[in-house]
Structure 1
Amino acid sequence: MVISLDSLTLEDGKYLVKLARRAIEEYLRTGRRIMPEDVPPRLLEEGAAFVTLLTYPHRELRGCIGYVEPIKPLAETVVDVAIAAATSDPRFYPVSLDEMDHLVVEVSVLGDHETYSAREALKKIKIGETGIIIRRGPFSGVLLPEVPVEYCWDEETFIAETCIKAGLPPDCWLDEGTQATLFRGRTWTELSPRGEVVERDLKREYIERCLNR
């Protein structure tokens, strides 16, 4: 069974963020991949997730890797992608154990995928709510719902930047051969390293950061 985004609670989000940090720190310390313990039953359902590492307090990207499709229990997915975000993101050198004192951990859980032609998808994007997967031939790229909030992008800029992430021209969304999958996401983050975990309200952040300037 695939997990329902709407079934997740704040306590689930806290568990996943703490699990991600514990997985990273144990792997960096010993090279051992932990097995999730005392897992809330719903987090044993299959789920797709990304783990993002950000510098504190400036929140600059330090690593981000995930699965866009649910292929294993959500808790196990978070362990896998947390370790990968810290050690295998090709954009960055691997994170050190000492560095974890200065990074915050975010977990984004993905769901509710719908696929359209990219041109049609543009009309359905909701900033702060939907992420995008662009696919054309062998090319693909994904941007999470929080990305346009961080950069104050509008819908067209968001889909153009996802084209670029896929290694395609920014106007690839105009090509009828380009598909766009829109998905919902929910994101939980540490406010400071090992600090309080909260769920991000991306739509509110977008209004405050981008529309009320």
Structure 2
Amino acid sequence: MDSAQRQQLLAIARQSIHHGLQHGRPLSVNAQDYDESLQQPGASFITLNLHAQLRGCIGSLEAWRPLIVDVAENAYAAAFRDPRFPPVNDIEFPQLEYHISLLNPAEPMQFTSESELLAQLRPHVDGLILEDKGHRGTFLPAVWESLPEPEQFWQHLKLKAGLPADYWSDTLKVSRYTVEEFS
């Protein structure tokens, strides 16, 4: 993404939340009105912060709709549908900080033990997707800032997915991805 495309994505995220405050739904975006690169399928996560604290984070793990649409929909969802927070209100809106993560396709990891998995992790580079027996969770690479040790990162991801911190199973699937981040 070049600087102009990044600015377009940030503007769409803001506009979608503003539209949501006024109309109760995401901004309707016609992908054809934007750069060809923004029309391509893309997966994004939108992280909202308020006073340096997380205020919402929602995204897509797989590219299945135009990136510009994905950003508009996920920005709205981060502001109004993140179950950890009440919906964003008019007072908070002007103070929101926007962080966009564009996900590269996830790659399955190969391992036979937890120690082997941990040895493969690349702190501050990898985002992870954990899946097992109906449980699923992901951490963006930015989470390494608050959980810098691979064991800690991994245990908290299991908890986020609704599994015990010491959970292990031979059917566990883990994929990793990288992101392009900007704000």
TM-score, structure 1 as length reference: 0.78
- Show the counterpart of 1:48: 43
Gaps of 5+ in 1: 1-7, 190-213
* % same residue: 31
Letter in 2 for 1:31: G
**Which residue is 1:204 aligned to?**
none
Structure 1 counterpart of 2:21, from 24, 28, 44? 28
Distance in 2 between residues matched to 1:171 and 1:143, nearest whole Å: 17
Mapping of residues 103-118 of structure 1, within 5 Å: 103-117=96-110
1:158 paired to 2:153: yes
C-alpha contact (below 8 Å) 2:50/2:92 kept by paired residues = no
**1:178 aligned to which of 172, 175, 179:** 172
Matches within 5 A, 1:64-103: 64-103=57-96
Partner Cα distance (2:6, 2:160) in 1: 27
Alignment of 1:124-135 (within 5 A): 124-135=120-131
Give the Cα separation in 1 of the matches to 2:18 and 2:135: 33
**How far did 1:152 drift?**
4.3
Structure 1 residues 22 and 36, CA, compared in 2 at 3 Å: closer, same or farther?
farther
Looking at structure 2, the residues matched to 100 and 188 of structure 1 have their Cα atoms a distance apart, in angstroms, of 19
Aligned to 1:12: 5
Deviations 1:62-117 (A, max 9, x none): 11111111110111001111111111111110001221111101111111311125
Q: In structure 2, what residue type is equivalent to 1:92? A: F
SS of 1:71's equivalent?
coil
Number of the residue aligned with 2:119:
123
What amino acid is aligned across from residue 42 of structure 2 in structure 1?
G
Normalising by structure 2, what TM-score? 0.90
Distance apart, 1:169 and its partner CA: 1.3
* Post-superposition CA distance 1:151-173 (Å, at most 9, x none): 1421121111111110011123x
Per-residue CA deviations over 1:37-82 (Å, capped at 9, x if unaligned) read 74221111111111111013xx101111111111101110011111
Matched-pair contact (CA < 8 Å) for 2:127–2:178: yes
> Do the aligned residues in 2 keep the contact of 1:109 with 1:187 (CA within 8 Å)?
yes
Could you tell me which runs of 5 or more consecutive residues in structure 2 were left unpaired when the two chains were aligned: none
Deviations 1:130-187 (A, max 9, x none): 10111011000011110111x1421121111111110011123x43221111001111
In the alignment, the residues of structure 2 paired with residue 52 and residue 36 of structure 1 have an alpha-carbon distance, to the nearest angstrom, of 23
Aligned-pair CA distance for 1:36: 4.9
- Between 1:17-26 and 1:113-122, the stretch displaced more is 113-122
CA contact (8 A) 1:117 1:178 kept: no
